[in-house]
Amino acid sequence: MDQDKVYLFEDQPIRSAWVEEEEEWYFSIVDVVGVLTEQPDIDGARNYWKVLKNRLKEEGSQLVTNCNQLKMTSPKDGKKYNTDVANTEQLLRLIQSIPSKKAEPFKLWLALVGRERIEEVIDPELTIERALETYAKKGYSRE
């Protein structure tokens, strides 16, 4: 773990770490759960994650099985502890499992992206059109 960073989501800290070997960011699950479920403190978020983790295991979700732990600085005492973390893909899957009004915008966005991707598989020309639109928004010409 080369780099720790704290991101803010709606003024709430989300601990993260860059894992060089995997070239991927990992995010503290407890922090994300706490923000999305509006927990009053880290203990409430930890308890929510514990219950959610058990529910996901019972449902047969591989998400919990595939979660890693990294040492992250605790907001309580500043010491480093092993913390359940998720990469971006795992985090997006986890967000889908959280019944919360704060998670709803993420769920809607994921549904939109999923629909677009399915449409692109059916009609590959849509991929080209979407790419051209993206380039145009960035100021490039369509040529």
> How confident is the model at residue 1, as a pLDDT?
46
- The yes-or-no verdict on residue 126 having pLDDT over 70 is yes
Q: Which domain holds residue 45?
A: 3-99
Read off the pLDDT band of 4 (50, 70, 90). low
Same-domain pairing of 49 and 95: yes
Same-domain pairing of 66 and 120: no
Q: Which helix (H) or strand (E) holds 3?
A: strand 3-9
Same-domain pairing of 88 and 121: no
Read off the pLDDT band of 9 (50, 70, 90). low
> How confident is the model at residue 2, as a pLDDT?
46
**Single pTM value for the model:** 0.74
Same-domain pairing of 122 and 83: no
Same-domain pairing of 111 and 53: no
Report how many domains make up the chain: 2
Higher-scoring residue by pLDDT: 106, 90:
90
Same-domain pairing of 95 and 140: no
What is the C-alpha separation between 46 and 120, in angstroms, rounded?
Answer: 39
Same-domain pairing of 39 and 81: yes
- The yes-or-no verdict on residue 51 having pLDDT over 90 is yes
Same-domain pairing of 45 and 75: yes
